[in-house]
Amino acid sequence: MNRAAVAVAAALLAAVPLALSSYHVGLVTKMLIFAIFAMSLNLVLGYAGLPSLGHAAYFGVAAYAVALVTLRVSDNFWIGFGAGLAAAALTSALFGLLALRAQGSYLLMITLALAQVLWGIAFGWRSLTGGDDGLPGIMRPGPGLPWSLGTGTAFYYFVLVVFALATGALSIVVRSPFGRALVGIRESARRMEVLGYDVWLHTYVAFVLAGTLAGVAGALFVYYNGFVSPAYVSIVFSAMALIMVILGGAGTLFGPALGSAAIVFLENGISAYTERWLLVLGLIYVAVTLFAPTGLVGVLRRVRRWA
């Protein structure tokens, strides 16, 4: 995406609260949060070639950390948000040590199993997590910030700034020698080893960075919903992030953001007519895999070439 397109997209996003209703502002806010989540998975899946079905673990751990700190320790934003990021970073660092011993489908299953362990803890440890009832009553941040984010517009602009910072940071990472090394590892890990690269260290650092960024999305989402439940660490959230990446275009910077916008939009529209959203999600995954393997970004590139 060239600079002109980025500038137009930034202007349109900045004008959202001025042009849309509060309901639609909330919908775009959710799209931006899930865009961060999908882009975090894309770092390991699209660039490093590491499949994961447990990425919701870091999203959910950060959400629970923010909720518990806010409800039981302090409602200061920096304390809660920092706890969420620390929890996601530590969890991804630990899980990476275990998961990266495997490759391919074995890695996929290990990440799923590790995430399910966290889901079991969240579901069963009722005194801490509230069990399947979750933890309600998390207020949007105010203390610790120079302005309150209680209104939908203020929170939207806050999320937009975080999204811009996350996108900028990811852009630097994927264009750096480290990011290019990840692409090389995705294409041929053995060749990169022969060239002298520490493949395990590169993938481990990418794994931790992706988990921490997923924690950013989880922390924002718990403020957005004011609630956290075991669903936040479930396979449904992990699969949704995976489909967002594939739908938008794995290995591209903005593809996962497009995929998240499409999925949130479809979920919002389809759920008004049917409760079988997961079935629709599965059908979307199959259709994209068969007919648009390069995702929406690939489709847009082909349209530009034809135009």
Over residues 52-89, the pLDDT tens digits come to: 999 999 999 999 999 999 999 888 888 999 999 999 99
State what percent of residues in the chain have pLDDT above 70.
Answer: 94
**Residue 223 corresponds to which tokens in the numbers above?**
């403020």
Closest by CA to 220, choosing from 87, 66, 96, 78, is 66
Q: Binning pLDDT at 50, 70 and 90, where does residue 283 land?
A: confident
Sequence-ordered list of residues with C-beta below 8 angstroms from that of 146, at least 6 positions apart, any chain: none
Give the DSSP per-residue string, 222-277.
Answer: HHHHSEE-GGGGSHHHHHHHHHHHHHH-TT-SSHHHHHHHHHHHHHHHHTTT-S-H
Q: How many helices and strands (H and E) does the chain possess?
A: 15, 2
Sequence-ordered list of residues with C-beta below 8 angstroms from that of 75, at least 6 positions apart, any chain: 139, 141, 142, 143
Q: How remote is the C-alpha of 285 from its chain's centroid?
A: 17
Closest by CA to 61, choosing from 207, 239, 209, 230, is 230
Task: Please give the model's pTM, rounded to 2 decimal places.
Answer: 0.92
pLDDT at position 62: 96
What's the pLDDT tens digit per position in 88-113? Answer: 999 999 999 999 988 888 898 999 99
pLDDT at position 253: 86
Rounded CA separation 287/256 (Å)? 17
**Residue 158 corresponds to which tokens in the numbers above?**
């806050």
DSSP 143: T
Rounded CA separation 74/139 (Å)? 12
